[in-house]
Amino acid sequence: MNRNDLSVYFIMGTSNSKQPLETLEKALQAGITCFQIREKGEGCLKGAAYEAFAKECQNLCRAYNVPFIVNDDVDLALKLDADGIHVGQDDLAITEFRAQANGKIIGVSVHDEQELHHAVKSGADYVGIGPIYQTKSKSNAKPPAGVNFLQKARSLYPQFPIVGIGGINEKNAAEVRSAGADGVAVISVICESSDINKTIRALSGEK
C-alpha cells in the first residue's frame, strides 16, 4: 500500500455524526486520503440498512478516488468489493480475506511489539497503533500509550506503513507524525469540526 494513503485517515459510523454522509463528503472534498466505515455502538445499523449505508459511503469514496476500508466485517468487505479491511487481533479474518481478496488492503491494530511482528509476518499492509492519546470514541480502548511504542515500531520497521490513532487532533497530530507515523486516523476531530477543511489541513501538517 502507498504510505501516503494513510496521511489523513477518516473513520466513521452512523453513531459518530448526525449527518454522516454529508460529513464524509465534506471530508473527501477537504482531502482525506483514506476512509474506514466502522459501524459500532448503541443503535448501530445492521443487516441491509448497514449494507446500504456502507454502499453509499463507498460510492462517495469512489467519486473522490479514496480507498474505502471496512472495519472487521469480512463478509461485507467481500460483498461490496471494498478496497480493504481493518481488523483487530483476528488472524482468521486476515487469512480468510487474503484468500478471497488477494491484492486488497489489510490493516491490523497492534498494541505491542509481539502483535506488531505478528501482523507484519501475517501479511498486513499497514498497522494502526493506538490509542496514542485519550479517546472517547472507543468504549473498550486501552489506556493512552503516548508515542513511545510508535517510535519503537518505526525504528523496527523503517519502511512499513504505520498510522497512529486515538485522541488525535489539530494540535497533537504533528507529534504523531514526528514520532514516525505516516498519518493520523481520526473519528471525533472531523465529526465534531465546525470547519472540516481547516481541521484536515491542520491534521495533514499544512498551515
Convert residues 133-172 into a mask of x (bound to ligand 3NM by CB under 6 A) and - (unbound): --x-xx--x-----------------------xxxx----
Q: Is 71 annotated as a binding residue?
A: yes
Residue 109 bears catalytic tag = yes
Name the DSSP class of 12: E
Name the DSSP class of 84: E
For 170, phi then psi, to 5°, come to -60, -35
* 202 and 187 Cβ atoms separated by less than 8 Å: no
| Nearest in space to 204 (alpha carbons), one of 52, 23, 27 | 27
* 33 and 2 Cβ atoms separated by less than 8 Å: no
Q: 138, 152, 201, 204: which one is catalytic? A: 138
Tell me the residue type at 204.
S
> For ligand 3NM, which is the closer residue by CB, 48 or 163?
163
For 180, phi then psi, to 5°, come to 125, 0
Classify 155 as helix, strand or coil: helix
> For ligand 3NM, which is the closer residue by CB, 63 or 191?
191
> For ligand 3NM, which is the closer residue by CB, 45 or 65?
45
For 116, phi then psi, to 5°, come to -65, -50
Candidate ranges 26-34, 60-68, 116-124, 181-189; the one touching ligand 3NM (CB under 6 A) = 181-189
Task: Tell me whether strands 162-165 and 84-87 are parallel, antiparallel or unpaired.
Answer: unpaired
Q: Is 69 in the site for ligand 3NM (CB under 6 A)?
A: no
Q: Is 207 annotated as a binding residue?
A: no
Residue 201 bears catalytic tag = no
Contacts to ligand 3NM from residues 47-66, by CB under 6 A? none
Q: 7, 26, 104, 109: which one is catalytic? A: 109
CA atoms of 112 and 155, how far apart (whole Å): 14
Q: Is 121 annotated as a binding residue?
A: no
Q: What is the closest distance, in whole angstroms, from the C-beta atom of residue 27 to ligand 3NM in the complex?
A: 13
Q: Is 104 annotated as a binding residue?
A: no
Q: Is 14 annotated as a binding residue?
A: no
Q: What is the closest distance, in whole angstroms, from the C-beta atom of residue 87 to ligand 3NM in the complex?
A: 11
Q: Is 109 in the site for ligand 3NM (CB under 6 A)?
A: yes
| Nearest in space to 201 (alpha carbons), one of 165, 176, 170 | 170
**Interface contacts to ligand 3NM, rule CB under 6 A:** 11, 109, 128, 130-131, 135, 137-138, 141, 165-168, 186-189
What residues are annotated to the active site?
A: 38, 109, 138
